[in-house]
Amino acid sequence: MRAIQGIIMAIGVIAILIAVAVAIGYFLFTLTPWLQARMIPVAVTAEAAKSFDQKLDGLRAETKKAIESGEKKEITLTITENEINSKLLETLAEGKMPFKLSKPLINLRDGRFLVYGILDTPGVPAKVAARGRIDVANGTPKIVIEDFNLGKLPLPKGVAKRVEGITNIMVKLQLADWPLELTKVSITDRQLTFSARVKTVK
């Protein structure tokens, strides 16, 4: 009888510990990530979003002209923090993203990007943040995630790599028919600059 009572008591203690762990995890999940504290607010305007579109239109036109003429041309595109954040907010507002994200923020400095946002997930919104860089691999951009925060939950080191892998798959799918061979990416002075070579038909 005492043995049974002891087992029941042990199970009860384990259940309480699990409940406490879940409560702590839930609490940490809802907290603001550490990386967000290092970020700076960015002004968002309709003019900046329009400027983003105009630059992309100019890039497409320049690329098309080079392809039609068979010219092996080097093209450079520079977009600012303001333009990126403004266009992202506009795209989210139009419902053109495959996920719901609120309070998005992107910072560009010292060769790195910082990203923050609140993902609309079942149960409770997830506050996520990431820090990384953009490398060049085989003529395409490769996202390298150096830090990844989900609230203030302590995450295994492998989580950042998994996020990195998923992100790069999405990038490759988006750039499957990209007529440019990326040669350089730089992040300086709150600007992102791409340099690429137009792929001509042989």
> Are residues 8 and 106 part of one domain?
no
> Are residues 90 and 102 part of one domain?
yes
> Are residues 43 and 82 part of one domain?
yes
> Are residues 100 and 11 part of one domain?
no
φ/ψ (deg, to 5) at 123: 95, -70
Tens-of-pLDDT digits for all 202 residues of the chain? 433 333 333 333 333 333 333 343 444 556 678 888 889 999 999 999 999 999 989 988 998 898 888 888 899 999 999 999 999 889 888 887 767 778 889 899 999 999 888 877 666 777 888 889 999 998 888 889 898 887 777 667 777 788 878 787 777 777 777 788 889 999 998 999 999 998 876 5
> Are residues 137 and 119 part of one domain?
yes
> Are residues 63 and 23 part of one domain?
no
pTM above 0.75, yes or no: yes
> Are residues 107 and 90 part of one domain?
yes
* CA 81 to chain CA mean position, Å: 14
> Are residues 67 and 6 part of one domain?
no
Number of domains in the chain: 2
> Are residues 76 and 6 part of one domain?
no
Nearest to 108, CA basis, from 129, 133, 87: 133
> Are residues 189 and 96 part of one domain?
yes
> Are residues 48 and 10 part of one domain?
no
CB atoms within 10 A of CB 200: 14
Host domain of residue 97:
33-198
> Are residues 89 and 18 part of one domain?
no
Q: What is the pLDDT of residue 53?
A: 94
Q: What is the pLDDT of residue 119?
A: 79
Measured between alpha carbons, how far is 36 from 104 in angstroms, rounded to an integer? Answer: 11
Measured between alpha carbons, how far is 102 from 125 in angstroms, rounded to an integer? Answer: 9
Q: What is the pLDDT of residue 77?
A: 92
CB atoms within 10 A of CB 88: 20
